[in-house]
């Protein structure tokens, strides 16, 4: 009996939990504000709070691990220091034992590795004529005789003498170079003095040339002034002669023949032409009147052509208006026919509905349509 009650309670609890979840989901789905936001803000806040709690827990755990690591590092450092001190003490004790109890001279094979054994033996040779110095012994080489100290002293004296000779040679070369430099300086001073004298002579010659050129230019200026005055006088006389010839010639007269050109009677000389005659002016006026009449004729033709175009445009507009009226009339007829067809179809549809009401008695009410969109799934 208790088991049955527990199952009923579990089922009731599950049903209540599902209903609560369905109500929460409906609130989320049918709430316009949450639907516009695109999510559940309370759930987001709970998630953010949970995330912060997890971050704080993770941070505390890391800090605990870090403190434990620091403690372990300190312990390891202390153990390593203790181990190093023990190793150093062991090495020191081992070295002291070897120095005190295991000296090299107490070994049995010390005579084979004694570093001072060669000092107790006889030298390889005592004289250069020692009988032990055989050829195959390789105990005496060139330059390794016993008198090498004396020979080295002699060589040092010889090198010193050679160094003195080289020093004297360098001093002599330095003196020769100094004497050559002094000679070069004296020669250069002589050359500079000679160049200065030549420059002074050149300046004096230039001054003399400049003076001569100045005198020549003055003479040329006087001659040019006299020549200009003479040319001016000749030009004035030529101008007076030209004025007199113009006054006595055909240029200032009214003779029209003096403007005739040698290239034909229809051409004139521009600088001698005195204007057109009365016959020429009358011919020009006649031509102008003819041109005015021709222009008036062209304007009249243009006006007639514009009137024809306006008449044609009016006729075309009238034809377009008549065509548009005809189209409207046809559209009204088509609309009337379409309205009649629609009325007949509406009547047939009403008859069909009445027939369906009589045949199908089980029709859906308004409550049938209100049950939709009431759940979240």
* The pLDDT value given to residue 160: 92
* The pLDDT value given to residue 46: 86
Token pair for 100: 């005190």
Q: What residue ranges do the domains of the chain occupy?
A: 17-87
Token pair for 284: 């020009």
Q: CA end-to-end span of the chain, whole Å?
A: 37
Give CA–CA dist 85/63, Å, rounded. 33
The DSSP code for 268 is: E
DSSP per-residue codes, 58-76: HHHHHHHHHHHHHHHHHHH
- Residues with Cβ within 8 Å of 132's Cβ and at least 6 positions away in sequence, in order, are 124, 125, 139
**Helix, strand, coil percent content, the chain, rounded in steps of 5:** 80, 0, 20
Give CA–CA dist 4/346, Å, rounded. 65
Give CA–CA dist 47/53, Å, rounded. 10
Give CA–CA dist 307/302, Å, rounded. 9
Give CA–CA dist 341/352, Å, rounded. 16
Please count the residues of the chain.
Answer: 377
Give CA–CA dist 177/171, Å, rounded. 10
* The pLDDT value given to residue 375: 67
Check: CB of residue 132 under 8 Å from CB of residue 139. yes
Give CA–CA dist 274/254, Å, rounded. 7
* Burial class (CB within 10 angstroms; exposed 0-12, middle 13-18, buried 19+) of 340: exposed
Check: CB of residue 171 under 8 Å from CB of residue 179. no
Name the stretches of the chain with pLDDT < 50: none
Q: What is the pLDDT of residues 346-360, one digit of tens each?
A: 999 888 888 877 776
* The pLDDT value given to residue 289: 92
Q: What is the pLDDT of residues 135-175, one digit of tens each?
A: 666 666 666 666 777 888 888 999 999 999 999 999 999 99
- Where are the alpha helices (H) located in the chain, listed in sequence order? 2-30, 32-37, 41-101, 117-120, 148-248, 278-359, 366-370
For 248-263, give the secondary structure using H, E and C: HCCCCCCCHHHHEECC
Which SS3 state, helix, strand or coil, does residue 123 take?
coil
Query: Rg of the chain over CA atoms, in angstroms?
Result: 72
Token pair for 203: 């300046």
* The pLDDT value given to residue 357: 76
């Amino acid at each position: 009996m208790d088991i049955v009650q527990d199952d009923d309670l579990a089922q009731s609890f599950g049903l209540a939990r599902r209903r609560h979840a369905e109500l929460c989901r409906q609130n989320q789905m049918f709430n316009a504000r949450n639907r516009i936001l695109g999510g559940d803000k309370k759930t987001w806040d709970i998630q953010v709070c949970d995330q912060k709690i997890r971050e704080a827990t993770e941070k505390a755990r890391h800090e605990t691990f870090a403190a434990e690591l620091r403690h372990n590092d300190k312990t390891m450092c202390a153990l390593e220091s203790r181990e190093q001190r023990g190793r150093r003490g062991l090495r020191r004790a081992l070295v002291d034992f070897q120095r005190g109890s295991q000296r090299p001279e107490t070994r049995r094979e010390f005579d084979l590795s004694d570093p001072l054994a060669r000092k107790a033996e006889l030298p390889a040779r005592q004289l250069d004529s020692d009988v032990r110095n055989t050829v195959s012994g390789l105990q005496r080489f060139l330059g390794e005789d016993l008198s090498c100290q004396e020979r080295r002293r002699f060589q040092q004296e010889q090198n010193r003498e050679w160094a003195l000779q080289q020093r004297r040679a360098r001093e002599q070369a330095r003196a020769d170079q100094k004497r050559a430099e002094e000679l070069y300086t004296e020669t250069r001073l002589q050359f500079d003095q000679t160049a200065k004298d030549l420059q002074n002579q050149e300046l004096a010659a230039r001054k003399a040339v400049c003076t001569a050129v100045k005198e020549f230019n003055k003479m040329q200026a006087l001659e040019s002034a006299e020549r200009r005055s003479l040319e001016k006088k000749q030009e004035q006389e030529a101008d007076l002669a030209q004025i007199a010839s113009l006054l006595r010639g055909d240029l200032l007269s009214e003779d029209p023949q003096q403007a005739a050109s040698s290239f034909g009677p229809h051409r004139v000389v521009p600088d001698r032409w005195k204007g057109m005659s009365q016959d020429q002016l009358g011919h020009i006026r006649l031509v102008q009147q003819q041109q005015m009449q021709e222009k008036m004729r062209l304007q009249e033709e243009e006006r007639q052509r514009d009137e024809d175009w306006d008449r044609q445009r009016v006729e075309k507009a009238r034809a377009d208006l008549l065509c548009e009226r005809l189209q409207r009339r046809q559209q009204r007829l088509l609309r009337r026919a379409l309205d009649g067809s629609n009325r007949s179809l509406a009547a047939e549809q009403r008859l069909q509905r009445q027939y369906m009401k009589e045949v199908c008695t089980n029709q859906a009410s308004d409550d049938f349509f209100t049950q939709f969109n009431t759940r979240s799934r």
